[in-house]
Amino acid sequence: MMLHIPGVLSREEVATMRAEIDAADWIDGRATVGTQGALVKRNRQLPEDSPVATAQGDIVLRALRANATFFRAALPAAYMPPLFNRYAKANEESYGLHVDGSLRGVPGSPKWLRTDISSTLFLSEPDAYDGGELVVVDTYGEHRVKLPAGDMILYPATSLHRVEPVTRGERVCSFFWTQSLIRDDAQRTILFELDQAIDSLRQRLGESAETVSLASQYHNLLRMWSEP
């Protein structure tokens, strides 16, 4: 499931975040990928242990914990701390076709996280740069994503994807991975769409025996499929 979640951060929050991260020290983005990724990745990132990245990543996670759409779609069990990247024409920056690693070590912890869901939070307005689209490839073809600042796209981490070359301006984003309570993307999609349908029925008809029954089935499926 690919899902556009608007307004994760307000314009004011984006502006404040950009002021903090733009003033920080950036490094070669290849520092955080394996051998395959290093062959096709050309961008800059804030270091994983950057105090600025940590503080601003915490702001992203607080916003997501308060976002009902994200919670219902991702059913999060654990998060990787958000990272920050930027692409500019001056450095011919892009990220070729790749798939995210299936497991990532949590910084400062012996724990590993399974990357079920990839998320990109846009921190540049679409008219601030040309190119730079996130292209996600699945069995339905290619999906090109370029969202307003403060909006986020989430998609299965199993998907091949790339970032097109930036030909004008600069593209700045935050990105991170989520381990879901529901490992399988098809099951997450069923639960999300069922949850949305129940909400729609409640808004139109109020609570009823039918909505109670559907909610029961939702929670029974969640109980059956979840991996705490």
pLDDT of residue 39: 81
Same domain (yes/no): 47, 100: yes
Same domain, 104 and 70: yes
Looking at the 3D structure of the chain, how many domains does it have?
Answer: 2
- Does residue 76 share a domain with residue 109? yes
User: Higher-confidence residue: 195 or 31?
Assistant: 195
Per the CB < 8 A criterion, the answer to whether 85 and 103 are in contact is no
pLDDT at residue 228 tops 80: no
Give the CATH number, domain containing residue 95. Answer: 2.60.120.620
- Assess whether 164 and 61 both reside in one domain: yes
Does pLDDT of 91 surpass 90? Answer: no
Q: 201 with 165, same domain?
A: no
Looking at the fold, whether 176 and 204 belong to one and the same domain comes out as no
pLDDT of residue 17: 98
Whether 162 and 190 share a structural domain:
no
Do residues 60 and 82 lie in contact, with contact meaning Cβ atoms separated by under 8 Å?
yes
pLDDT, mean of residues 166-195: 97
Residue 92, pLDDT > 90, answer no
User: How far apart are the C-alpha atoms of 57 and 131, rounded to whole Å?
Assistant: 25
CA angle 65, 68, 72 (to 5 degrees): 100
What is the mean pLDDT of the segment spanning 177-198?
A: 98
Average pLDDT of the residues in 148-173: 97
Residue 33 in this model has a pLDDT that exceeds 80: no
CA atoms within a 13 Å half-sphere pointing along the CA-CB vector of 137: 10
Domain of residue 33, residue span: 3-180
For 23, other C-beta atoms within 10 Å of its C-beta total: 8
Residue 52 shares a structural domain with residue 101 = yes
Residues 61 and 147 in one domain: yes
For residue 193, the Cα-to-chain-centroid distance in whole angstroms is 19
Calculate what percentage of the chain has a pLDDT beyond 90: 89
189 pLDDT band (50/70/90 cuts)?
A: very high
Residue 175: predicted pLDDT: 98
Mean pLDDT along residues 20-34: 88
Same domain, 70 and 141: yes
Rounded to an integer, the average pLDDT of 172-185 is 98
Question: Do 113 and 192 have their domain in common?
Answer: no
Looking at every residue in the chain, the average pLDDT score rounds to 95
DSSP secondary structure code for residue 9 in this structure: S
